[in-house]
Amino acid sequence: MATTGFWPVRGRLKEVIDYANNPDKTTAKKYLDEDLYAAIRYVENDDKTDQTMFVSGINCSKHNAYNEMIAVKRRFGERGKNIAYHGYQSFAAGEVTPDEAHEIGVETARQMWGAKYQVVVTTHLNTDNIHNHFVVNSVAFTDGRKFRNGIGDRLELRKISDSICRLRQKSVIEAHKFYSNKKEYWMQKDGKMSHRDMLRRDVDEALSKSGSFAEMEYYLKCLGYRFSRDYNYAHISVIADGWKRPIRIDSLGEKYSRENMREILVANQYKSELYAIQPPKYKRTPLLVIEYELRQARRKDTVQLLFELFIELLKICTGNNVEQQQSRPLSPMMRAEVRKLDKYLEEYKLLCDQHIESLEGLVAFKDNISAKITALEQERYAVRLKIRRAKIPEEDAALKEQAKEITRQITPLRKQRDIAIRIEERIPKMQELLEQERSIEMQRNHLVKKRERSSER
C-alpha cells in the first residue's frame, strides 16, 4: 500500500539532493551484477548522478538539478527559510518492482508539481519497502511564487498517489474516521480510561443485554448515565456526574451509529438467553447493600469503615472479589477511581496497622510521626557536623555509618507521613463520591420500582 509524506527543508539544498541521489540507496545490489554495483558505489559525487538508476528530473536535468534550482531562486530573488520541500512515497514490501515504483513516483510528481515547480524524483531500494523521494524547489520557475505547503497540499499529494496506484492495481490505505483525540491517546498510553473509553465499554454491555432502545436506555441509566437526548432524537447523547459536557454515542465509532445499534438490538430479540437470567435488583445498588452489611458488623462510623466501604466498591470494578457473571455496575465516577486502588489499599493498611478510626486520630498520628522525623533529622545534622571535624579515617567512617543508620530510620517514617497526608486529603473526595453514588443508587431503586409498577399493570 502506498503512503506519502511531505515536509519543508531549511538546511542546504545540495545536501537534500545528494541524499535523494545517493547511489547506495537508489540501486540495490540484487538488481545489478558485481562489476556495475562496484562502479556505481565509486561514482557518488554530484557530477556523476546521471549514471545512477531510478533518478529523474522534472523541469530540470537530474544531473544538474542543484544548479538549475539555485538559478531559479536567483532569478526571482526568492530565498527565505524553506529552501525546498522533501517528500516520500512508500509501497508495501514486494508489491512493486523498482521500475514500477519509479514510474508511479514520476507520474505523481508530474501531476502534483509539474506545472510550476522543479522536482527531482529518486527511487530508493535500501529497505524492504521500495520508496520514492521527491525534492521540490520552493520557488516556481514560471512566476517565482513560493510553494506554501498547506494541509490541503498534503491531502492532494495522497489523493494523486492513491489515484495512480489504483489505476495500476496497487493497494492504498483507505481513509478511516478518527474517533479520539490527543488527550485520550496519552491516557490510553498510561493505561488509564477516558470518559469515552468507559462509555464505549458500557454501551457495548448495554447493547449485548438489551433488545430495544428503551431497554438500552434503562440499562445505561442504571449504570449512572443521564440522557441529554434519548433514542427519540437522531443523535443519542449521555452525560454522567463529573463530566463537563454530554457525549454523542454515535461519535464513539461506526459500530455505534443509530442504524448499526438498531441491527444489534433487533438481532438480540431472537436470543432466548437474553431473557433467561434476570439479575437480582440489589446488583443495581451495590453501595446500599455493602454499606448495610458493613454497618451491621460495625455499629459506628470510622475512617476505617469509610476506606473499607470504598475499597469494596472498587473491587467490584476489577471483578476480583465477585464472580464474573455477578459483576455489579457502578457509576462512571467510581469506576474512574479503580486506577488508584493500590493506593487505597496502602492507605487502608496503615489505618488498620496503626488502629486509626477517626480523623482526629489520623491528625495526631501524622503530628507524632512529623515530630519523630524532625528529631531524627536534627540528630543526623549533628552527626554530619562531627564528620566535618573528624581527624582520623576510622572516626569519619563510623560517623558516616551512624548518619546512614539515622537515614534508614527516617525513610519509613516519611513514607507513613506521606500516606497519612494523602488520607487526610482524600477523605473529603471519598465522602463526596460515596454521596453521589448513594444518590444515583436511590434513583436506580426508583427506576426499578417504576418499571415494576408499569409491568404489573
Q: Using one digit for the tens of pLDDT, what is the confidence trace for 108-153? A: 999 999 999 998 888 888 777 888 888 888 889 988 888 877 778 8
Q: In the numeric block, which cell numbers belong to residue 439? A: 444518590
Identify whether the C-beta of residue 387 lies closer than 8 Å to the C-beta of residue 263: no
For residue 451, the model assigns a pLDDT of 57
If residue 3 lies in a helix (H) or strand (E), which one and from where to where? strand 3-9
| Residue partners of 443: CB distance under 8 A and separation at least 6 | 221
For residue 274, the model assigns a pLDDT of 67
State the Cα–Cα distance between residues 131 and 1, nearest whole angstrom.
Answer: 11
Identify whether the C-beta of residue 227 lies closer than 8 Å to the C-beta of residue 248: no
Closest CA to 85 of 21, 146, 126, 143: 146
Identify whether the C-beta of residue 227 lies closer than 8 Å to the C-beta of residue 236: yes
**Type of residue numbered 292:** Y
For residue 19, the model assigns a pLDDT of 56
Closest CA to 221 of 454, 403, 71, 440: 440
Grid coordinates 482524600 are at which residue? 426
The stretches of 28-177 forming alpha helices (DSSP H) are 34-42, 65-76, 98-113, 151-167
**Type of residue numbered 111:** Q
For residue 382, the model assigns a pLDDT of 93
Residue 432 burial by Cβ neighbours in a 10 Å radius (0-12, 13-18, 19+): exposed
The stretches of 8-56 forming alpha helices (DSSP H) are 13-20, 23-26, 34-42
For residue 43, the model assigns a pLDDT of 29
For residue 56, the model assigns a pLDDT of 86
Closest CA to 203 of 244, 242, 241, 251: 251
Sheet-wide strand order for 247-248: 225-229, 237-240, 247-248
- Point out the residues of the chain with pLDDT beneath 50: 23, 25-52, 178-179, 277, 279-283, 319-328
Q: In the numeric block, which cell numbers belong to residue 162? A: 492513491
